[in-house]
Every structure is written in C-alpha cells, then in structure tokens.
Amino acid sequence: MKALAHTNACSIDDPNALVELDIPMPTPGPRDLLVEVRGVSVNPVDVKVRSLMAPEGDHRVLGWDAAGVVAAVGAEVRDFAVGDEVFYAGDITRPGSHAEQQLVDERIVGRKPASLGFTEAAALPLTAITAWEILFDCFQLKEEEGAGDALLVIGGSGGVGSILIQLAKKLTGLTVIATASREETQAWSRKMGADHLVNHRKPLNEELEALGLSPKYVAALTATEQHWDAIVDLIKPRGHIAMIDDPKDIDLPAIKPKALSVSWEFMFTRSMFQTDDMAAQRALLNRVADMVDAGEIVTTANHHGGVLSVETLTAAHRLQETGAAIGKTVLDGYPKA
C-alpha cells in the first residue's frame, strides 16, 4: 500500500523530507482495527518528529489524526465491525495515518461524527483529546464546575486552543480568555466562543489587569517559557497551569508562594504505556462526536490542503512551521484504488 514517510531527521526544505513508499499491508493484532484512511490532519507533532527524530528503521510513517472506515478487526475486538466510520489520533509509537490503511487499537478510537465528512472529522481527535485531558485530568474539573473562575488559553486560535475554548464553554462554567494578536486570529477565537481576548504580543499580566481578571487556570499551549513570569504573576493563588509545549528554562520555584500546581499534558501517554484507563479516550471521542452531531461544537478544520501527496503534505508542514496556521489543516486521504 502507499504511504508517506520520512527517512531521516531534516528540514522541510530537504528534497527528501517526505517521500512516498510502497509498504506491506499491516495485519491487525487482537485489539486492532485496520482502518481505510479517508481524511487526515497535520499537527505540531508531525513537524517535530519529522525534523528532530530519525526513524529507528529505514522510514517512519507520520500522521496522528485520521478518520476512515474499518476494513478489518482483530480477534478480540467487540465494539467495532467492518464498515464502521471512525476517527482517532493513534499512537505515536506505531506507524501513522499518512497511508492508505492504518492499524489502531480500538480503545483509542471513537465513532466519526455522522454530521461531518471524513476530512472535517479528522481535524478533531488529537486536539480534542488534549483539550479534554487538560480540563478534566490536569485541572480535575467536573462538568458544569468552574462558575466564577476563569481560564486563560495561550494560543487560542491554534488547533488545541480552538477546541479547548469550545469544550470549556460547553462543559464548564469557566469564563474563557484567549490570546490572539492578529485580526484574523481574534475573529477565529471569538467564533470558537472566547469571552475575552488579550494580545500575547504584550505583557499578559498587564493585559489581564486591564480586563480586571485573574484566572484560576492557565492552559499554556505555546511559548510557555516566554510568558512564564507573567503567568505566575497573573494567576490566582492555588491556581493550576497546564502545559503542552517543551519549555527549556522556567523558574519552577517561583510558583511556590502562590502554591500553584503545574501539569504537563501529553495525549499519547495512555497509548504509549497501555494504561488501565486507555479506553477513556474512546469514551471522550464518542462524547465529542455526540456534541458535534448535536451542534454544540464545530470542527476546527480551517484550511483544506487537497489530497494526500508528497506535495500537499509538504505544503501543510510548511504552513504549520510558520506558526500562523489558524485552526487545523486537513487533507483528503489517498483516493480509493
């Protein structure tokens, strides 16, 4: 089958940064689904793996977001059948979704929202899982909790920020403040449901002071190191900071006077370590699908990059690397033979 892969860690400007290969069709393990991939999206993790991590073998198939149709099931699968339409983010330790077909453990797969096409649905899994786990695992909120408190989302127009704003507004009582500096990112963040906007190109503590708001929760989705001092200054005592990026030099002891909590969110942890609660991701994806079909939240797909190919995937990586992408970039899967 056809697949897009990288063969060494390199810049997207390298002529062999992404290559098309013909690889063997995989065989499902006991709890695996073999999915015919119909739509994919691109995330920062794709760029990081391609540019920083050389494959252990001669290639690595990228892609950690997909929607498609179940083509075969493993011997122990009970909750899915051939023909089911599904969406998922996958497992970073296994081959990715930029291929004609992909294996994925059934416990991290949800039903595709019936109201969305495959490509629009593929925008959601990785970011929805990340956002959900920030709210309910890191912050340990319960649904409908949070009235009277505020959440600051740093990077409101990105993939995670776009769905985090929506989930926080629909499932909690939090007031949501999002950072956005450009007219188009401000418009997008408002569309996602943000109550207030602040400019991350200015000191965030001063921006929040001007609003008269002090959030209890901060989702630091980008540039955490740059904003760290302001975050510690602006957040309420006994507040909670959740990070998804990789700050190299932050003053962690600075949080002690306010007795703050800090969490790293990494949505691949459950699948990487085969945790006992791995199926929580299937449950939350099904809940997200229900919310989409009920009109409570919308897809965050904002740029359709065409049909999956070396050229279109390269362009999607380039856009991701600019830092200017709004919402998610999506691609149609390989045409059916």
Shared-domain flag, residues 78 and 107: yes
Residues 120 and 158 in one domain: no
Residue 63 reports pLDDT greater than 70: yes
pLDDT at 324: 87
Backbone angles phi and psi of 6, in degrees to 5: -115, 150
- Kindly report, residue by residue over 189-231, the tens digit of the pLDDT: 999 999 999 999 999 999 999 999 999 999 999 999 999 999 9
Q: Is it the case that residue 145 has pLDDT exceeding 70? A: yes
Single-letter amino acid, residue 197 = L
Report the C-alpha gap between 133 and 277 in whole angstroms. Answer: 12
Burial code (b: 16+ CB inside 10 Å, e: under 16) for 241-259 equals bbbbeeeeebeeeebeeee
Task: Tell me: do 34 and 159 sit in the same domain.
Answer: no
Domain boundary among 222, 239, 264: 264
Q: What is the 3-state secondary structure (H, E, C) of 190-207?
A: HHHCCCEEECCCCCHHHH
- For strands 19-22 and 261-264, give the pairing: unpaired
- Which pLDDT belongs to residue 173? 97
Residues 251 and 291 in one domain: no
**Region 79-106 average pLDDT:** 97
Q: Are residues 239 and 302 in the same domain?
A: no
Report if residue 153 sits inside a domain. Answer: yes
- Cα separation of the two ends of the chain: 10
Angle 39-110-90 (CA atoms, 0-180°, nearest 5)? Answer: 60
Q: Do the beta carbons of residue 327 and residue 124 sit within 8 Å? A: no
Q: Are residues 227 and 199 in the same domain?
A: yes
In-domain check, residue 146: yes
What share of the chain has pLDDT > 90, as a percent? 97
Q: Are residues 53 and 85 both part of a single domain?
A: yes
- Tell me the pLDDT tens digit for each residue of 305-337: 999 999 999 999 999 999 889 999 999 999 886
Within a domain: 230: yes
Instruction: Answer yes or no: do 120 and 223 share one domain.
Output: no
For the chain, the domain total comes to 2
Q: Contact 320/44 with Cβ under 8 angstroms?
A: yes
From 22, 38, 37, 41, select the one nearest 317 (Cα to Cα): 41
Is 62 within 8 Å of 331 (Cβ atoms)?
no
Percent of the chain past pLDDT 70, that is, above it, reads: 100
Q: Are residues 218 and 253 in the same domain?
A: yes
Residues 104 and 177 in one domain: no
Q: Of 214, 233, 264, which residue constitutes the final position of a domain?
A: 264
Structural domain for 76, as ranges: 2-124+268-332
pLDDT digits (tens, 9 = 90+) for 234-270: 999 999 999 999 999 999 999 999 999 999 999 999 9
- What's the Cα-to-Cα distance from 41 to each of 163, 228, 271, 335, rounded to whole Å? 14, 30, 19, 16
Give a yes or no: residue 219 inside a domain.
yes
* Single residue among 240, 264, 288 that ends a domain in this structure: 264
CATH of the domain at 303: 3.90.180.10
In a domain, 337, yes or no: no
Q: Is residue 19 part of a domain?
A: yes
Amino acid at 13: D
Predicted TM-score (pTM) of this structure: 0.97
User: For position 136, which CATH number holds?
Assistant: 3.40.50.720
Asked if residue 283 is part of any domain, the answer here is yes
Average pLDDT over every residue of 75-97: 97
Confidence of residue 72 (pLDDT cuts 50, 70, 90): very high
Regarding whether 181 and 70 lie in a shared domain, the answer is no
200 and 327 housed in the same domain: no
Rounded Cα–Cα distance for residues 44 and 326 (Å) = 13
What is the predicted pLDDT for the residue at 337? 66
**Closest by CA position to 126, among listed 79, 165, 100, 87:** 87
